[in-house]
């Protein structure tokens, strides 16, 4: 074999044998490697992941006003579920399992702590009242 000095530095010398691609197909040597390198170097290949991560990070950053708004919304949903439970107690056909399920789901929803101590205390009282009502129903055999 004769070594020729005319090939540019860093470039692979072409061979006459086809090289086996790692994915099971056949391709001439250098073609599969350059295709993989081109796919990895595309600017669009990382853009969706980066932008999705950025959006998720922005959504996690809640302002105190947004935390308060979410806490109030959660408190109202628990109070609405307790109201539905109260009304269902007086219905002649008995307790609907969906009412208990709705209350349980409202209590289990994620709670954002706010900077307002009074609001946090009020939410604690609402959650305690809901937990007591659920415990009473479970003790009486009414589960959802």
Please write the tens of the pLDDT for every residue from 77-92.
Answer: 999 999 988 888 887 6
Is 73 inside a domain boundary? yes
* Prediction pTM value: 0.53
Distances (CA, A) of 33 to 28, 37, 128: 10, 6, 63
The residue among 44, 60, 76 that closes a domain is 60
Residue 18's SS3 state is strand
- Mean predicted lDDT score pLDDT of the chain: 73
Inter-axis angle of helices 64-89 and 117-139, to 10 degrees? 30
Give the domain extent around 30: 25-60
pLDDT at 131 > cutoff 80: yes
pLDDT > 70: what percent of the chain?
A: 58
- Tell whether the torsion through CA atoms of 50, 55, 56 and 62 is positive or negative: positive
Residue 18 neighbours by CB under 8 Å, 6+ apart:
26, 27, 28, 29
Is 19 inside a domain boundary? no
pLDDT at position 15 is 54
User: Per the structure, how many domains does the chain have?
Assistant: 2
Is 106 inside a domain boundary? yes
- Tens digits of residue pLDDT in 32-66: 555 555 555 555 544 555 677 777 766 667 788 88
The residue among 34, 60, 86 that closes a domain is 60
Residue 59 neighbours by CB under 8 Å, 6+ apart:
none
Q: Are residues 83 and 54 in the same domain?
A: no
The Cα–Cα gap between 55 and 28 comes to 42
Specify whether the CB–CB gap between 107 and 134 falls below 8 A: yes
Q: Are residues 41 and 55 in the same domain?
A: yes
| Residue 50 φ then ψ, to 5° | -65, -45
Q: Are residues 71 and 54 in the same domain?
A: no
Q: Are residues 55 and 67 in the same domain?
A: no
Give residue 91's Cα distance to chain centre: 39
Q: Are residues 68 and 56 in the same domain?
A: no
């Amino acid at each position: 074999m004769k070594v020729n000095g005319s090939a540019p530095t860093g470039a692979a010398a072409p061979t006459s044998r086809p090289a086996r691609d790692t994915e099971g197909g056949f391709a001439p040597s250098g073609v599969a490697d350059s295709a993989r390198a081109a796919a990895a170097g595309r600017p669009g290949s990382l853009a969706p992941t980066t932008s999705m991560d950025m959006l998720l990070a922005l959504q996690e950053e809640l302002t105190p006003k947004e935390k308060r708004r979410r806490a109030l919304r959660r408190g109202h949903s628990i109070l609405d579920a307790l109201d539905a439970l109260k009304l269902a107690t007086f219905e002649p056909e008995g307790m609907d399992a969906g009412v208990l399920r709705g209350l349980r789901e409202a209590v289990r929803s994620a709670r954002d702590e706010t900077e307002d101590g009074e609001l946090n205390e009020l939410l604690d009282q609402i959650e305690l009242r809901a937990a007591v009502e659920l415990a009473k129903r479970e003790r009486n055999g009414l589960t959802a």
